[in-house]
Amino acid sequence: MSRSTRKSLADRVERIGTKSAKALAEFASRTGAKGELPCWGAIADHIEKNVVDDAALESLWRAMVEVGDSRPQLVLLSILKDKPKLIELAARDEGNVSPVVRQALTALRVPDDTESNRGFETRVNELLAVRYFVPDSVEPENESKRRSK
């Protein structure tokens, strides 16, 4: 995730205004002692532990649709997968999301759709595999090739 993408996502999440959203924005922007930045895996863990009520998750989904980046949308859908009410709410935004997110919504609503499920699981696993990243002087170009230890 580029620095500008991280900042725009954190700014938008912070504007939700709730305590949990502000904590998430702060967490996603924080740099560790060795310069490490939380990536999708760590961010997903933080959301699962700290953003627990449906209203907060719905607000977070709305913010991610507004931002328009499919990566946080997919991460959030992986967290919402066991919440049918929120999946149906997310599905109302089908016309406002990318094809890969539409495929994920299909996978979550139609469990027998093997192709959609495989695509969703593969992409989410790639995103969640990276927990922290220590940036160097050049922005990483392909996050799916980085792996946390």
Q: How many folded domains does the chain comprise?
A: 1
Please check whether residue 80 lies inside any domain of the structure. Answer: yes
Give the global pTM: 0.83
Mind listing the pLDDT tens digit for each residue in 5-31? 778 889 999 999 999 999 999 999 888
Mind listing the pLDDT tens digit for each residue in 27-57? 998 888 888 889 999 999 999 999 989 999 9
Please check whether residue 113 lies inside any domain of the structure. Answer: yes
Q: What is the DSSP letter of 33?
A: T
Q: Return the number of other C-beta atoms located less than 10 Å from residue 113's C-beta.
A: 15
Please check whether residue 115 lies inside any domain of the structure. Answer: yes
Q: Could you tell me which residues come within 8 angstroms of residue 6 by beta carbon, excluding any fewer than 6 positions away? A: 28, 29, 37
Please check whether residue 137 lies inside any domain of the structure. Answer: no
Q: Which domain holds residue 20?
A: 3-129
Please check whether residue 110 lies inside any domain of the structure. Answer: yes
